[in-house]
Every structure is written in structure tokens, then in C-alpha cells.
Structure 1
Amino acid sequence: MAQHNAFYAQSGGVTAVINASACGVIEACRRHGDRIGKVYAGHNGIIGALTEDLIDVSQESDEAIRALRHTPGGAFGSCRYKLKDIESHRAQYERLIEVFKAHDIRYFFYNGGGDSADTCLKVSQLSEKMGYPLTAIHVPKTVDNDLPITDNSPGFGSVAKYIATSTREAALDIASMCATSTKVFVLEVMGRHAGWIAAAGALAGNGEGEPPHLVIFPEVAFDRGAVMKRVEESVKRYGYCVVVVSEGARYADGTFLADAGNTDAFGHRQLGGVAPTLAGMIKQDLGYKYHWAVADYLQRAARHLASKTDVDQAYAVGREAVELALAGKNAMMPAIKRVSDDPYEWRVEAAPLAEVANKEKFMPRDFIREDGFGITPVCRRYLAPLIQGEDFPPFENGLPMFASLKLAKVERKLPTFEL
């Protein structure tokens, strides 16, 4: 068969294991060198394709590519840049095809979340309309765990492990000091519309009085009175209260507790910090001394505490993306299928992008306790396997070692394109 090149790019917020998916894609492409020539990576995601800012991955050693498996962040640069609809912004999509033609790229691997799935699907549709033979595969990734069809999203398991661990550790700190100092600790976690990460915080405890004493989900309307009552009960009963709150916590009318009043590049509302907002309410209503923390980038960059399950799955979907492409499975996504909870078993299956793009998976109601402030046993059974196992990076001088890439640029062949 004829040999053609491949393009790989990362999109959206990065994770502790997105580079493990990159490793899976690149190593699989190298194993199929009879059909795939060079692998080009987009510098800063899809922007790299539009501006013809390509990285020649063939310049990287096998050792450097293997090191991606234990390296956090986005090795080739990611971006928050959403392509608009084809009808009104056709020039952008046509530019992508022009770049792919110029560099003989026939395989397109886009590693990201829901918006990336939409882009991948649109690129596939336009290439077909333009008569250019391009196979587009979406490689799933998102700490939010809100992609449909797939049982879970690569990137989530490691964040879940970090948040559950941090909640447990911080709770010991608060418990030590509560008699004479801090009574309430509030931990803010990611999750704009879905409370999966907040739910993971509940794994820190599993018994009467064990923290967190309160989990606040986006799926449950925020009731200030009910929350304050629960906080006060916890402090009186246990001496302290640990709260895990999702950044997307909102009132019954849909208004975010911490709406900053503007939007990001994807059109999502920018949130201004729900932890200090909630802590301020607690101080105002109850008078308790508090501390709050925002996990922010720490939760998604914590490769030193990654879940082995997550690392294995991230690598597997990257590898399987190449196999799907070579099998001619266009506009698809390798999805994780859970076979059993105990023992935990899973496999990778193909899912049509048309059923993934622009769809979100929220916490099922039976995963949330009836009172709305914690998780149910069925949710715990779902979450528990995803944080299992350790996959430590190599350490040197007490610090983790990560991949060091050449990031050699490819010579441009086309005129400059303005975004």
C-alpha cells in the first residue's frame, strides 16, 4: 500500500496523561511504517495546522517518545481555539485541507474533549466534500469526564486520584487544628457542568463522619440555607467540616455562584472562584474560621500521582486511534467500554463521532445521594477502579523527570494564513 503522513494535535486543557495518548499514537504510527510515513504534530493544536506550524515528530528518538508516557502537560502545545461552522467559515476548513495536501497528510488524529470531537467531525465531512482522502479520528481526553459513550474519559482518573488524596490529606490537617483554629475547609475542583471531579473527592472517606462532609455538584441546585445547615451540623458533631465544591455550582435559575461575567475562547462562561465565594458565605452566615483552596492546574498536572488505570487507558486510546484509521474507520473515536467492576476489566471500542460531538455526560441522579451532598454506593463502584494503581515517573535529584523534545519545525510550503 502507498505510504502517507499523519497529523496529530492536542486541544483544550491538558491533563496528566494526554502525552501518554500522544505516545500511543506515535508509537503505533512507527509500527506501521509501511503505511504511515512521517508524523507531524500541530504546534499549539489546530492552530498549528491552520498556520502551517508543524513539528516533525520523526526527528524525535524512540526514547523521547517513550518518555511522553510519564510527562504531564501538552508536549506539542495545546490551544483553546474552536473552529466555527463550515458554512460561514469555510476558508478555515479549506486551509486545513490545503495544508494536509501540501504535506501529504492522510491521517488526522485530534486529541481533546467535546469541542475537539466536533472539529474532527467537521474536518472529516469537509474533506469528503472536497474529495480529499483524509481519515479523521478523535482521541478522547478530558479531566471533566463528560464525553458520552465512553465509560470514562482519559485524564479523569488521575484528577480523581489527586482530588481524593488531597481531600483526605487536607482533612487530617483541619482535624488536627479545629479545636483552636480553622473549622471549615473548602476545596474547589474543576467541573463546569458535570460534577464528576467533585464526586471523586468523596472517595476520600467512606463512613460516618469521614470527610468530605459536604460535596456540592453542578447537577444539584445550590441552596444556601441547606448548605449552611449541613456545615453547622458537621462542625457541631465532628468539630470541623470539609467541603468539596465544583467550580460549576449554580443556583436553581442556572446562575453560577462565581460567574465572572465573561466567556473564554470556546464560548464558555468564565468562573471567578467558587471556593472564596462559598467561604465568604460561611463566614457571613456562621462566623466560622475557614481556609479554602483551588486545585486549578495542580489537579490536572499531577503526573507524580497519576492513576495507572488512567495512564494505561490514555495510551490505549492513542494506539487504537491509529488502528481504526488504518482500518478505514473514518470519523470515529476509540471509546472505553467497561466489562466488569470487580475485577475491573475494560476494552476499547469504536464510537461514531456524530454521537459524541457537542454532547455532554452528566452525573446520573442515582450517583448522587438523595440529600444532594454526597455520592451513592453505585457511584463509588463506578469511580473506585479509575483511581487504582500507581505509575510513577522516574525521579532524579528528588524531582520527576519528563520528556525533552527537539520540536523540529517543518518547512512551510504555503502562503501565510491569518486566523
Structure 2
Amino acid sequence: MPTRNATSGRLLYAQSGGVTAVINATAAGVIEAARARGVAVYAARNGILGALREELIDTAKESKAAIAALRHTPGGAFGSCRYKLKSLEANRAEYERLIEVFRAHDIRWFLYNGGNDSADTALKLSQIGKALGYDIRCIGVPKTVDNDLAVTDCCPGFGSVAKYTAVSTLEASLDVASMASTSTKVFILEVMGRHAGWIAAAAGLAGEGADAPPHLILFPENVFDEAAFLAKVKATVERVGWCTVVASEGIRNAAGQFLADAGTRDAFGHVQLGGVAPTLAGLVKGRLGYKVHWALPDYLQRSARHLASKVDAEQAYAVGKAAVDCALAGMNAVMPVIVRNSDSPYRWKIEPAPLAKIANREKKLPRGFIRKDGFGITAAARRHLAPLIAGEAPPPNGKDGLPAYVQLKNLPVAKKLAAWSPDKP
């Protein structure tokens, strides 16, 4: 490919999949780092679909203050989507369309902020760029609440949902304890985690010791044993007077079936989950006769910017900045990942890692992090998780007492190509 000036052309940034409380901090890191290097940044409206539809946003129209405010604003500032590109062989036309859009707008760097599927897309795009003779550098930028990306020590977004989960577990447990003598005996909190129990494990930070909540954690890495579960709940209530249970949405029975299979699938082919808590509540009430309350925080887990971890917010910004550094250094098909240097004091750094070692790989909770009885976390898990929820990074409040979040103008870039006509809209 012909050589060119390191800062000629534009950078395109896109957000993918479920957003996190700190994904916009990554966007701020990208835009501020690129501006400092004199590189123009476009953003794709609603993720990869925006790139395919040529719906691009000119971030140069946003003020310095607005971009800085992204660091404390939840949601996806430019819109995200769940849209999985097929393989190069199955649908080469989509990849060719993306290159066509890149060529039309002189996009020379593409930064895709997402999880496993997004890393796979960035990897494939780097390959098709070479095949079509177009000089495009593709960088995956890490983001998942599930903390399930390979190679990286942790995923930006996870530390904040971990803090929210631990705090919620602690606060709700204090409430249950105060009412247990005449009211609720069992409280069940359902948390995200389809295949990996990182978020459920984070709830274990709420307390330490046999009588401290959460008294039971149900991990997707373990087969759900109904008899053992009921016996543990009963023993806890008889000993402590009440019981807090934290259950991952992805727990399965011995037949491998999700306890909370909603019967539908998303665009990535994932089973839509939700309903573990009421299922378990019905089981406890029906078999043990205890009064039960349950909660399903759902989107609250990933949007709770008011309770974000300072460490997480800093890491989210750092990977955005590092992604720009990687791109402008001429790297391709890499992801800036977090490397842990020590637990206490917690020290970390950012290094590039090949997307080929990350794409479509899933990091489960290590067996050594799950207690031998299967219902709690080990000391090793506590050492690993505790630093990730450290510190506070509260958003500024407005005169109304609510957080002062920013809403960008998101002004469009003029289109140059014919409308995209996919086989399946």
C-alpha cells in the first residue's frame, strides 16, 4: 500500500452492543487524543449500522466542554446497535460497502468500541482492507460489563457495574435485615452475566464471612442444583434470620437449559434472558414458605454513572486515548488492553494486543475464584476484584439536583454515496 502522512485522512469511531456507564469516557479519550494530534474524528450513528448507511457525525462541531463532559455522561453518545456482520465469505458485500464509505470520506482509521463480536468485526475489516487495496487501520477498543474479553485484565465498564452490584447488595441486605423478624426472609438480586459470572462474583465484595451478605451467589459457571440451593437458603435463614441471594441471569440446570430463557434471540444470536429472580423466588416461597422479595436492575446496572468506579472511568478514558496512539502509530488489528502490574497497591498499564487473540474468545470466571461449596467467592477473587471498584467519580450536579449530563448536537456529515440496500434491513 502507498505510504502517506501519519495524520492525513479521518478517524471513524463507533460504539457497539450494550453500552456501559463509562463508554462515553472512552469516546472522550478518542476524540481528545485525536484533536491533540490534528486528526479529524467522525462518529458512526448507531454503531456499525451508521457506517453501512453512511450516517456519520462530525465531532468537530462539538465544543471542547461538551466532549469533556462525555467523561461523566452515561449511555452511548453517538448511538449503538446490536448488529453482527456475517463472515467475509457469507456477505462480502457488507465489508465492501464499509470500505466504499471509508474511501468516500477518507477514513483511514476505524476504532470499534465493543466486545467479542466487535473485535471480530474490526479484525475482518482489517483483512478486507488489505484485500481491496485500501489503507485502513482497524483498532478494537475494549468495552463490556460482563468482563469477558480475553487477554485484558479487565474490561472498561465492568468496574462500575461491579461497584453498583456490590453497593446494591449491601444496601438491600441492610433493609432486609431490619425487616426480617416480621417480613421478608429472603431477597434475590438478579444480575447480568450470560456465560461468565464476573458481575455475580462482584456482589461478593459486599460482605465477608459466612453470615455476611450475599449468603449465596449463583454462578453461570456452575450447574444449578435445586436441592443444594434450597438447603443452603433454609440453613442461612435458620442461622442468620434472613438470606440474600445474588443470581446470574445465565444459570443453567443439569440439562444445560437457561432457567430464564425468554424464548427469543438478539441480533448476535444470543438467547434473551431475564426472569431468574422471580423463578427462584417462586421456588423458595413454594418449597420453603418464606416471604421473598426480588429485584431485576437490568439496564440500571450498566447506566448507573452516578456510582461509577473511579478506576473504571480512568481505564475507559485511557483505552480510548491509547487506541488513537495505536492507530496513528500504524498498528492494525490490535486492541489496547489493560495489564495489571500489582494488586496492592493496584497498578496497571495499557498495551496493544492482537485482535486475533481476542475476537470470539470468552473469558470465564476462574474456578479458583469460586468457593468450594459453589456459593461464594474466594480470597483470590476478592484480591482481584476489589481494586476495580475503588474510588468515586461522581458527575457534577445541576441546579435541579440531578446530574448534569451532556447531550451532543451530533450534526451529520453530507452523504456522498447511494443508499445502502442490505439483503435484510
Aligning the two structures, in what range does the TM-score lie when normalised by the shorter sequence? Answer: over 0.9
Letter in 2 for 1:215: I
More displaced 10-residue stretch of structure 1: 272-281 or 104-113: 272-281
Question: Of 7, 12, 21, which residue of structure 1 is paired with 2:26?
Answer: 21
Aligned pairs for 1:219-368 (under 5 A) are: 219-368=221-370
Distance 1:272 1:69 in 2: 30
Question: Of 25, 29, 35, which residue of structure 2 is paired with 1:30?
Answer: 35
How far did residue 270 of structure 1 move? Answer: 1.2
Partner of 1:407: 410
Alignment deviations for residues 84-123 of structure 1 (CA, whole Å, 9 cap, x no partner): 1111101100000000000000000000011100011011
Partner of 2:392: 390
Q: Per the alignment, in what secondary structure is the counterpart of residue 296 of structure 1?
A: coil
How far did residue 208 of structure 1 move? Answer: 3.0
Q: Per the alignment, in what secondary structure is the counterpart of residue 139 of structure 1?
A: strand
Partner of 1:75: 77
Distance 1:30 1:409 in 2: 19
How many residue pairs were aligned?
416
Distance 2:60 2:275 in 1: 42
Alignment deviations for residues 126-155 of structure 1 (CA, whole Å, 9 cap, x no partner): 011001000000000000000000000000
Letter in 1 for 2:226: R
Distance 1:394 1:418 in 2: 43
Q: Per the alignment, in what secondary structure is the counterpart of residue 323 of structure 1?
A: helix
Distance 2:407 2:19 in 1: 17
Distance 2:311 2:254 in 1: 36
Identity %: 65
Distance 1:88 1:190 in 2: 32
Aligned pairs for 1:111-190 (under 5 A) are: 111-190=113-192
How far did residue 329 of structure 1 move? Answer: 1.1
Question: Of 66, 69, 73, which residue of structure 1 is paired with 2:68?
Answer: 66
How far did residue 261 of structure 1 move? Answer: 1.8
More displaced 10-residue stretch of structure 1: 204-213 or 345-354: 204-213
Q: What is the TM-score of this pair, normalised by structure 1?
A: 0.98
Distance 2:233 2:341 in 1: 39
Partner of 2:373: 371
Distance 2:299 2:341 in 1: 32
Alignment deviations for residues 362-419 of structure 1 (CA, whole Å, 9 cap, x no partner): 0110100000000000000000000000001100121101112110001100000123
Alignment deviations for residues 313-372 of structure 1 (CA, whole Å, 9 cap, x no partner): 000000000000111110000000000000000000111000000000001101000000
Alignment deviations for residues 62-84 of structure 1 (CA, whole Å, 9 cap, x no partner): 11000000000000000000101
Unaligned runs of 5+ in 2: none
Q: Segments of 4+ in structure 1 off by > 2 A?
A: none
Q: Per the alignment, in what secondary structure is the counterpart of residue 299 of structure 2?
A: helix
Partner of 1:416: 419
Distance 1:6 1:327 in 2: 13
Partner of 2:103: 101
Q: Per the alignment, in what secondary structure is the counterpart of residue 262 of structure 1?
A: strand
More displaced 10-residue stretch of structure 1: 148-157 or 269-278: 269-278
Question: Of 10, 14, 17, which residue of structure 2 is paired with 1:9?
Answer: 14
Q: Per the alignment, in what secondary structure is the counterpart of residue 78 of structure 1?
A: coil
Alignment deviations for residues 196-240 of structure 1 (CA, whole Å, 9 cap, x no partner): 000001100012301000000000110000000000011101110
Distance 1:80 1:73 in 2: 15
Unaligned runs of 5+ in 1: none
Distance 1:208 1:230 in 2: 11
Q: Per the alignment, in what secondary structure is the counterpart of residue 231 of structure 1?
A: helix
